[in-house]
């Protein structure tokens, strides 16, 4: 730790402090930090107070700097003595700025299985192109997570200083932060060592709900965009962005959870809809769409290959309708991606014969158990709606015919 401290330095600083405090308080802190790298947090807070709330007391500021220098010298002496007795390697920086992000970030793409084979990409947020991975990483925007998997937990922090939002949120450093050089907005991404299946009929609800809780609380702590789905992100290997790298490539979900007290309150209950908690719109749309498709794929498959295009179009149309029910709708590209996945699976793997057989067995079982006799449509005879009919029955204004007969 280097400390530049002598009377001449303090005298030079004294002449500048009053001018800086009046002309540019922020520069006061920057100037002090350059002259005194050992400034403690307490000293910085005091200088900030002196700089922003007048009258500015130069002597008190200088006394703070002198005390800080004295403490720093003592700390350096103690550190050197300890290092001589017990040498240890230097600590790895928590976060670093990459001077050449195009080349230094390519290690993120070394394992191709963690990225889509043909991701969406483009030079704007629409990401309307589909290219091979090595071609896509030349674009400013690209799809980060493969279909059906959550490999990277990505958050959109739309405010100045977004690249360091994790510090104020008390979270571990992200794998990378891609920052807009003009306004400081950023995408923060944490790599998951064990990717979580989020879109598939075979997905396990336990890991998904755990992931939902972790991402929900992280989004809340970061004050990140609630409408961001995480499909398209700023490419960390593109020179358009200022890229920061954390010391750790991947995290276990349990490791992230250690930084999130109160996480259990964000875990959705078994009967609670996952999309109401966070991750979720993609998962919710996939789940609702696949359930709908089981009931409607049969006539299209009976047409053979000619029905495929019409089926994909129908599923996408239904997906857009369901997406409109979300408070923060997904981008059309994401809806198309999910709709195509559902259409393909139900077309090729859904066993219609087995489904019909299960339905017939269920109906037979219900018939043997007995049930309510058919009501007919008495509301039609009365010239009222079904809803009005039952509301009046409940209030006693109408007595059903079967009750009168009894």
pLDDT tens profile 35-86? 555 555 556 566 655 555 444 555 666 666 667 666 666 776 777 777 776 6
Whole-number pLDDT of residue 155: 94
Under the banding of pLDDT at 50, 70 and 90, the label for residue 4 is very low
Under the banding of pLDDT at 50, 70 and 90, the label for residue 233 is very high
Whole-number pLDDT of residue 284: 76
Torsion of CA 325, 331, 333, 335, to 10 degrees: -20
User: How many Cβ atoms sit within 10 Å of the Cβ of residue 319?
Assistant: 27
User: Considering the entire predicted model, what is its pTM?
Assistant: 0.54
Q: Give the whole-angstrom CA distance, residue 91 versus residue 151.
A: 28
Name the more confident of 91 and 333: 333
- Is the pLDDT at 215 greater than 80? The verdict is yes
Under the banding of pLDDT at 50, 70 and 90, the label for residue 346 is confident
Q: Looking at domain 281-352, does it have CATH number 1.10.340.50?
A: yes
- Is the pLDDT at 235 greater than 80? The verdict is yes
- For residue 236, CA distances in Å to 111, 121, 167, 233, 387 come to 15, 13, 20, 9, 56
Whole-number pLDDT of residue 154: 94
Q: What are phi and psi of 141, to 5 degrees?
A: -120, 140
Segment among 45-54, 107-116, 119-128, 278-287 with least mean pLDDT: 45-54
Query: Domain boundaries in the chain?
Result: 7-85, 97-276, 281-352, 372-406
Does the bond joining 55 to the residue before it have cis omega, within 30 degrees of 0? yes
Query: What confidence tens digit (pLDDT) does each residue in 238-271 have?
Result: 999 999 888 888 999 999 999 998 887 766 655 5
Q: What is the DSSP string of 168-224?
A: HTT-PPPSEEEEETTT--EEEEEEEEEEEE-SSTT--HHHHHHHHHHHHHHHHHHT-
Whole-number pLDDT of residue 5: 44
Mean pLDDT for the chain overall? 75
**Per mean pLDDT, which of 91-105, 128-142, 195-209, 376-390 is the most reliable?**
128-142
- Is the pLDDT at 379 greater than 60? The verdict is yes
- Is the pLDDT at 122 greater than 80? The verdict is yes
In the predicted model, what is the mean pLDDT of residues 369-377? 63
- Is the pLDDT at 372 greater than 90? The verdict is no
How would you classify residue 317: left for phi > 0, otherwise alpha for psi between -120 and 50, otherwise beta?
Answer: alpha
Whole-number pLDDT of residue 54: 46
């Amino acid at each position: 730790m280097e400390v530049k401290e002598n009377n001449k330095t303090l005298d030079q600083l004294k002449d500048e402090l009053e001018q800086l405090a009046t002309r540019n308080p922020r520069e006061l802190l920057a100037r002090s930090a350059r002259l005194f790298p050992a400034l403690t947090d307490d000293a910085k807070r005091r200088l900030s107070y002196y700089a922003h709330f007048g009258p500015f007391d130069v002597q008190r500021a200088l006394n703070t700097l002198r005390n800080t220098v004295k403490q720093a010298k003592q700390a350096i002496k103690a550190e050197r003595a300890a290092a001589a007795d017990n040498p240890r390697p230097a600590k790895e920086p928590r976060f670093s700025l990459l001077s050449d992000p195009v080349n230094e970030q390519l290690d993120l793409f070394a394992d191709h299985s963690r990225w889509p084979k043909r991701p969406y990409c483009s030079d704007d947020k629409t990401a309307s192109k589909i290219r091979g991975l090595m071609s896509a990483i030349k674009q400013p925007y690209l799809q980060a997570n493969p279909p059906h998997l959550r490999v990277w937990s990505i958050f959109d922090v739309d405010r100045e200083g977004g690249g360091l939002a994790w510090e104020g949120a008390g979270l571990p450093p992200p794998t990378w932060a891609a920052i807009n050089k003009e306004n400081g907005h950023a995408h923060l991404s944490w790599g998951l060592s064990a990717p979580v299946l989020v879109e598939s009929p075979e997905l396990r609800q336990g890991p998904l709900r755990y992931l939902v809780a972790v991402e929900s609380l992280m989004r809340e702590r970061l004050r990140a965009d609630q409408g961001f789905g995480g499909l398209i992100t700023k490419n960390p290997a593109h020179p358009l962005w200022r890229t920061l790298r954390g010391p750790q490539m991947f995290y276990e979900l349990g490791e992230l959870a250690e930084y999130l007290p109160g996480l259990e309150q964000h875990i959705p209950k078994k009967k609670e809809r996952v999309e109401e908690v966070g991750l979720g719109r993609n998962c919710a749309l996939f789940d609702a769409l696949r359930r709908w498709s089981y009931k409607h794929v049969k006539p299209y498959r009976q047409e053979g290959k000619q029905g495929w295009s019409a089926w994909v179009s129908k599923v996408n149309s239904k997906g857009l309708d369901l997406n409109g029910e979300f408070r923060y709708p997904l981008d059309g590209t994401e809806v198309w991606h999910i709709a195509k996945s559902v259409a393909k699976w139900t077309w090729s793997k859904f066993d219609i014969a087995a489904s019909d057989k299960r339905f017939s067995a269920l109906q037979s079982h219900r018939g043997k158990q007995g049930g309510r006799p058919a009501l007919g449509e008495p509301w039609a005879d009365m010239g009222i709606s079904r809803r009005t009919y039952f509301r009046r029955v409940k209030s006693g204004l109408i007595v059903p015919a079967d009750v009168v007969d009894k």
